[in-house]
Amino acid sequence: MKSLFAFLAVLSLVSLTAFTTVRTVIGVNFDRNCAGYLERAAHANTVALAIPALEKGIAYLTVNNLTEGYTSVAYRTPDEDIGFFYTNLNQSLAELKSLKPDASALEASNVLMKLRETLIVNGEKGGESLRCPDGISIYGSNTIFAIWGWASLIGLGLGILMWFVADFHSYR
């Protein structure tokens, strides 16, 4: 019986390691192909630099069908609304493109500052991060990932607990 619980603990640990690896790879892929470009657009000094970066980020969202829905599993909150995020990005792009070539430096600066405020959120400790719905990188599979992660954690905890309980009873 003790070996069964040890097997459950090891199997759950392998599952948790696989979950962490897959989740990390998907997150890095999203960062490389979308979030990085959105951050680049937010930090651009000219409209000419911001437009292609924003277009690449929006193109990734469009191709991967990240245009509507909520990333939450249990309940919906406004910060998890992919549709709002996607629409906001498209409207920012339209505003950048509508800026006339002969626009003053002040007008261009104002549009770029507005874009930055749309894309970047300042953290409590002074850090900056991209403003996008949590879990967007795994959208469409959020429930599967939530179940996989929790099942792995619970299985690991139960396996270790029962392994120690079985070990304790074997010494009595």
Average pLDDT over residues 116-127: 86
pLDDT tens per residue, range 1-56: 667 777 888 888 999 999 999 999 999 999 999 999 999 999 999 999 999 999 99
Element (H, E) at 128: strand 128-130
Q: What pLDDT is stored for residue 5 in this prediction?
A: 74
Tokens describing residue 114: 């507005």
The boundaries of the domain holding residue 106 are 2-170
Q: What pLDDT is stored for residue 116 in this prediction?
A: 95
Residue 167 predicted with pLDDT over 70: no
Long-range contacts of 9-16 (CB under 8 A, 24+ apart): 9/155, 9/156, 9/159, 9/160, 9/163, 10/159, 11/155, 11/159, 12/152, 12/153, 12/154, 12/155, 12/156, 12/158, 12/159, 13/156, 15/148, 15/151, 15/152, 15/155, 16/149, 16/152, 16/153, 16/156
pLDDT tens per residue, range 86-100: 999 999 999 999 999
In total, how many domains does the chain have?
1
Stated pTM of the model = 0.84
Residue 172 predicted with pLDDT over 60: no
